[in-house]
Structure 1
Amino acid sequence: KSRQVPLGGAADRALLAYVPARRALVGSTGSRTALFVNKLGERLTPRSVQRMVRAWAVAGGIHARATPHGLRHSFATHMLDSDVDLRSIQELLGHASLSSTQIYTKVSLDHLMKVYDAAHPRAHEHGDARPARDTEPVLPTKA
Protein backbone atom coordinates (compact mmCIF):
# COMPACT_ATOMS: atom_id res chain seq x y z
CA LYS A 1 0.00 0.00 0.00
CA SER A 2 1.46 3.34 -1.03
CA ARG A 3 1.53 6.01 1.67
CA GLN A 4 2.54 9.62 2.01
CA VAL A 5 4.62 10.40 5.08
CA PRO A 6 4.90 14.01 6.26
CA LEU A 7 8.44 15.01 7.24
CA GLY A 8 9.55 17.87 9.44
CA GLY A 9 12.38 20.14 8.37
CA ALA A 10 15.13 18.28 10.26
CA ALA A 11 14.02 14.88 8.90
CA ASP A 12 13.81 16.31 5.39
CA ARG A 13 17.36 17.70 5.58
CA ALA A 14 18.69 14.43 7.03
CA LEU A 15 17.04 12.42 4.26
CA LEU A 16 18.46 14.71 1.57
CA ALA A 17 21.93 14.23 3.08
CA TYR A 18 21.44 10.45 3.36
CA VAL A 19 20.35 9.72 -0.22
CA PRO A 20 23.80 10.32 -1.81
CA ALA A 21 25.43 8.15 0.90
CA ARG A 22 22.83 5.44 0.24
CA ARG A 23 23.72 5.43 -3.46
CA ALA A 24 27.35 4.79 -2.55
CA LEU A 25 26.37 1.91 -0.22
CA VAL A 26 24.07 0.26 -2.73
CA GLY A 27 26.46 0.37 -5.67
CA SER A 28 25.59 -2.09 -8.41
CA THR A 29 24.78 -5.06 -6.17
CA GLY A 30 22.58 -3.65 -3.38
CA SER A 31 18.86 -3.05 -3.06
CA ARG A 32 17.39 -0.85 -5.76
CA THR A 33 14.02 -0.38 -4.04
CA ALA A 34 14.76 0.00 -0.32
CA LEU A 35 15.27 3.53 0.93
CA PHE A 36 17.08 2.49 4.09
CA VAL A 37 19.90 -0.01 3.71
CA ASN A 38 22.59 -1.56 5.90
CA LYS A 39 26.39 -1.29 5.47
CA LEU A 40 26.25 -3.90 2.73
CA GLY A 41 23.64 -1.94 0.77
CA GLU A 42 20.91 -4.47 1.57
CA ARG A 43 17.38 -3.73 2.79
CA LEU A 44 17.14 -3.33 6.57
CA THR A 45 15.37 -6.21 8.29
CA PRO A 46 12.67 -5.59 10.91
CA ARG A 47 15.00 -7.08 13.54
CA SER A 48 17.84 -4.70 12.64
CA VAL A 49 15.46 -1.74 12.98
CA GLN A 50 14.37 -3.06 16.40
CA ARG A 51 18.01 -3.28 17.51
CA MET A 52 18.71 0.27 16.32
CA VAL A 53 15.68 1.71 18.12
CA ARG A 54 16.70 -0.08 21.32
CA ALA A 55 20.32 1.16 21.04
CA TRP A 56 19.17 4.75 20.44
CA ALA A 57 16.82 4.57 23.42
CA VAL A 58 19.58 3.33 25.72
CA ALA A 59 21.96 5.99 24.38
CA GLY A 60 19.27 8.58 25.14
CA GLY A 61 18.86 7.36 28.71
CA ILE A 62 15.59 5.53 28.08
CA HIS A 63 15.84 2.15 29.74
CA ALA A 64 12.25 1.04 29.25
CA ARG A 65 11.71 -1.45 26.45
CA ALA A 66 11.66 0.62 23.25
CA THR A 67 10.36 -0.83 19.99
CA PRO A 68 9.32 0.56 16.60
CA HIS A 69 5.78 -0.63 17.34
CA GLY A 70 5.83 1.22 20.67
CA LEU A 71 6.87 4.37 18.80
CA ARG A 72 3.76 4.03 16.60
CA HIS A 73 1.58 3.80 19.70
CA SER A 74 3.31 6.83 21.24
CA PHE A 75 2.93 8.80 18.01
CA ALA A 76 -0.80 8.07 17.89
CA THR A 77 -1.28 8.97 21.56
CA HIS A 78 0.68 12.23 21.23
CA MET A 79 -1.38 13.18 18.18
CA LEU A 80 -4.61 12.50 20.08
CA ASP A 81 -3.34 14.48 23.10
CA SER A 82 -2.67 17.39 20.72
CA ASP A 83 -6.33 17.35 19.63
CA VAL A 84 -5.70 15.77 16.22
CA ASP A 85 -8.91 14.08 15.09
CA LEU A 86 -8.97 10.29 15.03
CA ARG A 87 -9.64 10.14 11.28
CA SER A 88 -6.42 12.08 10.55
CA ILE A 89 -4.46 9.81 12.89
CA GLN A 90 -5.93 6.83 11.03
CA GLU A 91 -4.58 8.21 7.74
CA LEU A 92 -1.16 8.99 9.20
CA LEU A 93 -0.86 5.44 10.56
CA GLY A 94 -2.17 3.90 7.34
CA HIS A 95 -4.97 1.97 9.03
CA ALA A 96 -7.87 0.70 6.95
CA SER A 97 -10.32 0.90 9.86
CA LEU A 98 -10.88 3.48 12.55
CA SER A 99 -11.19 0.70 15.14
CA SER A 100 -7.54 -0.24 14.55
CA THR A 101 -6.53 3.35 15.23
CA GLN A 102 -8.54 3.42 18.46
CA ILE A 103 -6.50 0.46 19.72
CA TYR A 104 -3.29 2.42 19.08
CA THR A 105 -4.32 5.48 21.06
CA LYS A 106 -4.34 5.74 24.82
CA VAL A 107 -6.19 8.65 26.33
CA SER A 108 -4.03 10.17 29.06
CA LEU A 109 -5.47 11.48 32.31
CA ASP A 110 -4.07 14.94 31.53
CA HIS A 111 -5.91 14.93 28.21
CA LEU A 112 -9.16 13.84 29.87
CA MET A 113 -8.82 16.64 32.44
CA LYS A 114 -8.20 19.18 29.66
CA VAL A 115 -11.31 18.01 27.79
CA TYR A 116 -13.35 18.07 30.99
CA ASP A 117 -12.15 21.56 31.94
CA ALA A 118 -12.94 22.89 28.47
CA ALA A 119 -16.39 21.33 28.21
CA HIS A 120 -17.92 21.16 31.67
CA PRO A 121 -19.81 24.34 32.60
CA ARG A 122 -18.99 24.06 36.31
CA ALA A 123 -15.39 22.86 36.00
CA HIS A 124 -13.92 26.03 37.53
CA GLU A 125 -16.72 26.91 39.92
CA HIS A 126 -14.68 26.10 43.04
CA GLY A 127 -11.28 27.23 41.81
CA ASP A 128 -8.55 25.24 40.16
CA ALA A 129 -7.66 23.02 43.12
CA ARG A 130 -7.32 19.40 42.05
CA PRO A 131 -6.33 16.29 43.94
CA ALA A 132 -2.89 14.91 43.16
CA ARG A 133 -2.94 12.62 40.11
CA ASP A 134 -1.60 9.67 42.09
CA THR A 135 -4.33 9.66 44.73
CA GLU A 136 -7.59 7.78 44.64
CA PRO A 137 -10.78 9.85 44.62
CA VAL A 138 -12.51 10.19 47.98
CA LEU A 139 -16.05 8.89 47.72
CA PRO A 140 -18.79 9.92 50.13
CA THR A 141 -19.71 7.31 52.73
CA LYS A 142 -23.18 6.49 53.98
CA ALA A 143 -23.93 7.95 57.41
Structure 2
Amino acid sequence: MNHEPAVASRHVSQVIRRTRDEVYAFVANPANLPRWAAGLAKSPVSIDGDRLLVESPMGQVTVRFVPHNDLGVLDHDVTLPSGTIVNNPVRVLGHPQGAEILFTVRQIELSDEEFERDLDMVAADLKRLAEVLEARSA
Protein backbone atom coordinates (compact mmCIF):
# COMPACT_ATOMS: atom_id res chain seq x y z
CA MET A 1 0.00 0.00 0.00
CA ASN A 2 1.02 3.58 -0.65
CA HIS A 3 1.45 5.48 2.64
CA GLU A 4 2.28 8.88 1.17
CA PRO A 5 0.11 11.74 2.41
CA ALA A 6 -2.95 12.53 0.30
CA VAL A 7 -2.55 15.40 -2.14
CA ALA A 8 -5.59 17.68 -2.30
CA SER A 9 -6.68 18.97 -5.71
CA ARG A 10 -9.11 21.74 -6.57
CA HIS A 11 -10.28 23.06 -9.91
CA VAL A 12 -10.38 26.78 -10.66
CA SER A 13 -12.08 28.00 -13.82
CA GLN A 14 -12.91 31.21 -15.64
CA VAL A 15 -15.23 31.86 -18.58
CA ILE A 16 -13.67 34.12 -21.21
CA ARG A 17 -15.67 35.81 -23.95
CA ARG A 18 -13.24 34.77 -26.68
CA THR A 19 -13.03 31.63 -28.79
CA ARG A 20 -11.31 28.54 -27.43
CA ASP A 21 -8.65 28.85 -30.15
CA GLU A 22 -7.94 32.50 -29.26
CA VAL A 23 -7.59 31.70 -25.55
CA TYR A 24 -5.40 28.68 -26.26
CA ALA A 25 -3.10 30.62 -28.62
CA PHE A 26 -2.65 33.45 -26.12
CA VAL A 27 -1.98 31.21 -23.12
CA ALA A 28 0.34 28.90 -25.09
CA ASN A 29 2.60 31.84 -26.04
CA PRO A 30 5.29 32.13 -23.29
CA ALA A 31 5.77 35.84 -24.03
CA ASN A 32 2.25 36.46 -22.70
CA LEU A 33 2.80 34.84 -19.27
CA PRO A 34 3.82 38.06 -17.45
CA ARG A 35 0.67 39.80 -18.80
CA TRP A 36 -1.70 37.50 -16.95
CA ALA A 37 0.07 34.89 -14.78
CA ALA A 38 1.48 36.95 -11.90
CA GLY A 39 1.37 33.82 -9.71
CA LEU A 40 3.98 32.27 -11.99
CA ALA A 41 5.86 34.94 -13.97
CA LYS A 42 7.00 38.27 -12.54
CA SER A 43 9.13 39.25 -15.54
CA PRO A 44 9.76 38.24 -19.16
CA VAL A 45 10.29 34.53 -19.70
CA SER A 46 13.58 33.08 -20.98
CA ILE A 47 13.36 30.13 -23.37
CA ASP A 48 15.94 27.35 -23.17
CA GLY A 49 15.04 24.62 -25.68
CA ASP A 50 11.72 23.17 -24.52
CA ARG A 51 12.01 24.78 -21.08
CA LEU A 52 10.90 28.17 -19.89
CA LEU A 53 13.00 29.82 -17.20
CA VAL A 54 10.71 31.97 -15.10
CA GLU A 55 11.37 34.34 -12.22
CA SER A 56 8.36 33.63 -10.02
CA PRO A 57 7.22 34.72 -6.55
CA MET A 58 8.76 31.39 -5.36
CA GLY A 59 12.14 32.12 -6.97
CA GLN A 60 13.41 30.85 -10.32
CA VAL A 61 11.35 27.95 -11.64
CA THR A 62 11.51 25.90 -14.81
CA VAL A 63 8.32 25.30 -16.78
CA ARG A 64 7.73 22.67 -19.48
CA PHE A 65 4.45 22.71 -21.43
CA VAL A 66 3.04 19.80 -23.38
CA PRO A 67 3.47 20.23 -27.15
CA HIS A 68 1.00 22.47 -28.98
CA ASN A 69 -2.17 20.56 -29.79
CA ASP A 70 -5.70 20.96 -31.13
CA LEU A 71 -7.34 19.72 -27.93
CA GLY A 72 -6.91 22.82 -25.75
CA VAL A 73 -4.49 21.01 -23.42
CA LEU A 74 -1.95 23.29 -21.71
CA ASP A 75 -0.61 20.92 -19.06
CA HIS A 76 2.75 21.99 -17.72
CA ASP A 77 5.30 20.86 -15.19
CA VAL A 78 6.83 23.44 -12.87
CA THR A 79 10.14 22.55 -11.23
CA LEU A 80 10.25 24.45 -7.94
CA PRO A 81 13.46 25.82 -6.41
CA SER A 82 13.36 22.79 -4.06
CA GLY A 83 13.59 20.47 -7.09
CA THR A 84 10.01 19.22 -6.66
CA ILE A 85 8.12 18.93 -9.94
CA VAL A 86 4.47 19.97 -9.84
CA ASN A 87 2.25 18.88 -12.73
CA ASN A 88 -0.45 21.44 -13.54
CA PRO A 89 -3.33 20.16 -15.69
CA VAL A 90 -4.90 23.02 -17.68
CA ARG A 91 -7.65 22.81 -20.28
CA VAL A 92 -9.23 25.39 -22.55
CA LEU A 93 -12.76 24.25 -23.28
CA GLY A 94 -15.47 25.51 -25.57
CA HIS A 95 -18.23 27.33 -23.67
CA PRO A 96 -21.56 28.84 -24.80
CA GLN A 97 -20.14 32.30 -23.99
CA GLY A 98 -16.77 31.66 -25.68
CA ALA A 99 -14.24 29.57 -23.77
CA GLU A 100 -13.59 28.31 -20.27
CA ILE A 101 -10.13 27.75 -18.88
CA LEU A 102 -9.88 25.08 -16.19
CA PHE A 103 -6.78 24.86 -13.97
CA THR A 104 -6.20 22.06 -11.46
CA VAL A 105 -4.29 23.21 -8.37
CA ARG A 106 -2.61 20.57 -6.22
CA GLN A 107 -1.51 20.92 -2.61
CA ILE A 108 2.10 19.82 -2.88
CA GLU A 109 4.60 21.11 -0.28
CA LEU A 110 1.96 23.61 0.90
CA SER A 111 0.22 24.19 4.21
CA ASP A 112 -3.55 24.58 4.09
CA GLU A 113 -3.12 28.36 4.26
CA GLU A 114 -0.58 28.35 1.41
CA PHE A 115 -2.89 26.12 -0.65
CA GLU A 116 -5.77 28.58 -0.19
CA ARG A 117 -3.40 31.42 -1.17
CA ASP A 118 -2.39 29.51 -4.33
CA LEU A 119 -6.05 28.91 -5.21
CA ASP A 120 -6.75 32.64 -4.80
CA MET A 121 -3.70 33.52 -6.95
CA VAL A 122 -4.78 31.15 -9.74
CA ALA A 123 -8.32 32.58 -9.64
CA ALA A 124 -6.88 36.12 -9.85
CA ASP A 125 -4.59 35.11 -12.74
CA LEU A 126 -7.48 33.57 -14.68
CA LYS A 127 -9.63 36.65 -14.06
CA ARG A 128 -6.76 38.85 -15.31
CA LEU A 129 -6.47 36.59 -18.38
CA ALA A 130 -10.16 37.14 -19.13
CA GLU A 131 -9.78 40.90 -18.69
CA VAL A 132 -6.74 41.04 -21.01
CA LEU A 133 -8.35 38.92 -23.73
CA GLU A 134 -11.78 40.54 -23.53
CA ALA A 135 -10.24 44.01 -23.71
CA ARG A 136 -8.61 43.00 -27.01
CA SER A 137 -12.06 42.58 -28.58
CA ALA A 138 -13.48 45.86 -27.25
What's the TM-score once normalised by structure 2's chain length?
0.26
Task: Between the two structures, name the one with larger relative contact order (CA 8 Å, sep ≥ 6).
Answer: 2
What's the TM-score once normalised by structure 1's chain length?
0.26
Q: Whose strand fraction is larger, Structure 1's or Structure 2's?
A: 2
